Amino acid sequence: MLSERRLQVLRAIVQDYVGTEEPVGSKALTERHNLGVSPATVRNDMAALEDEGYIAQPHTSAGRIPTDKGYRLFVDKLAGVKPMSPPERRAIQNFLEGAVDLDDVVARTVRLLAQLTRQVAVVQYPSLTRSTVRHVELLSLAPARVMLVLITDTGRVEQRLVDCPAPFGEASLADLRARLNSRVAGRRFTDVPQLVEDLPEAFEVEDRGTVSTVLSTLLETLVEENEERLMIGGTANLTRFGHDFPLTIRPVLEALEEQVVLLKLLGEAKDPGVTVRIGHENAHEGLNSTSVVSVGYGSGGEAVAKLGVVGPTRMDYPGTMGAVRAVARYVGQILAES
């Protein structure tokens, strides 16, 4: 177990390194933080911290920098979440309230997060897993062609073209529309399959094929919608990564383009609060020198999606966590209102 002072030393190292981006030595530490002890003492503590794997030296006789393990301890034990100031909160709220539709909400959220944290922001579109169906619309485009429009309670709209195995009359279509909506409107996505299971039986034999086709398209759409979309922004902030960033930045850009990777990344965060994954804690190796700060957000009590930022492990964790948490909270409010 580390003594109280050693923890303070670690905290000071993290703070200084995040600020200066340069390895920090014992002397500088005692000057900038009044720890009440001499550099020599700090040196001993640093040696101990290094033995434990919390800090490391890039090369002999340079200062120390925190390791992933060091950051982990810092985040877990040594630093809280820095709350946003009231003016910042107001700015966030104002900015988000200007949004005109869901796309705009997401777009604004991305910009906001990127600006506040000066890092790369990632925002997942509100998930439909927990969403409910608001309305299903069926439009006849041709005798054997139907357009299916799904509207969810989060305001998303998805459409699919359905080629019917047989011509389908307007009357049958209206019938299907009515039956379908009476069963699924207001219900959860996950409940829909069993709710419509026996629906084809209510129709004439010659229409059953078409009804089945429409239904299976609907189910596909529901599933597909769960493959979330997301939006990223603030990639220009990657240039602040470090001096050697040509090598670092490349895999990060590649990872950011793989939506699957990002979704998995956000998905891994299970905590109700802000989750931080540091360096090698990230499964994707392109992101081994980055940290991901993420949190769920949602209109009600339930989180319907996640958002977060990706930045260098050397980041201001308390500030970033505060910004991410605040933005998530206000986005949730906006979604609840609309």
Partner DNA sequence: TCTGGCACTCGCACGCGCAGAGTGCCAGGC
Partner DNA sequence: GCCTGGCACTCTGCGCGTGCGAGTGCCAGA
Query: Where would I find the beta strands (DSSP E) of 228-329?
Result: 230-233, 275-278, 290-297, 305-312
d(CA 188, CA 43): 60
Binding of DNA by 280 (CB under 7 A) = no
Binding of DNA by 23 (CB under 7 A) = yes
Residue type, 138: L
The structure tokens listed for 117 are: 């944290």
Least distance (Å) between residue 101 CB and DNA: 51
3-class DSSP state of 257: helix
d(CA 204, CA 2): 76
CB 93 within 8 A of CB 116: no
The structure tokens listed for 251 are: 């895999």
Binding of DNA by 44 (CB under 7 A) = yes
* Binding footprint of DNA, residue count (CB under 7 A): 25
CA–chain centroid gap for 255, Å, is 14
Choose the stretch contacting DNA; rule: CB under 7 A; options: 35-43, 165-173, 260-268, 272-280: 35-43
Binding of DNA by 40 (CB under 7 A) = yes
CB 322 within 8 A of CB 116: no
Binding of DNA by 5 (CB under 7 A) = yes
Among a second copy, DNA, none, partner that 174 touches (CB below 5 to 8 angstroms by kind): none
Binding of a second copy by 147 (CB under 8 A) = yes
Q: Which of residues 242-281 bind a second copy (CB under 8 A)?
A: 245-246, 249-250, 253-254, 256-257
* Choice from 1, 34, 36, 100 touching DNA (CB under 7 A): 36
Residue type, 96: L
Least distance (Å) between residue 244 CB and DNA: 10
Structural element, H or E, at residue 65? strand 65-66
Footprint of DNA on this chain (CB under 7 A)? 5, 23-28, 36-41, 43-44, 46-47, 50, 57, 59-64
Footprint of a second copy on this chain (CB under 8 A)? 101, 134-135, 137, 139, 141, 147, 149, 151, 155, 157-161, 233-236, 238-239, 245-246, 249-250, 253-254, 256-257, 338
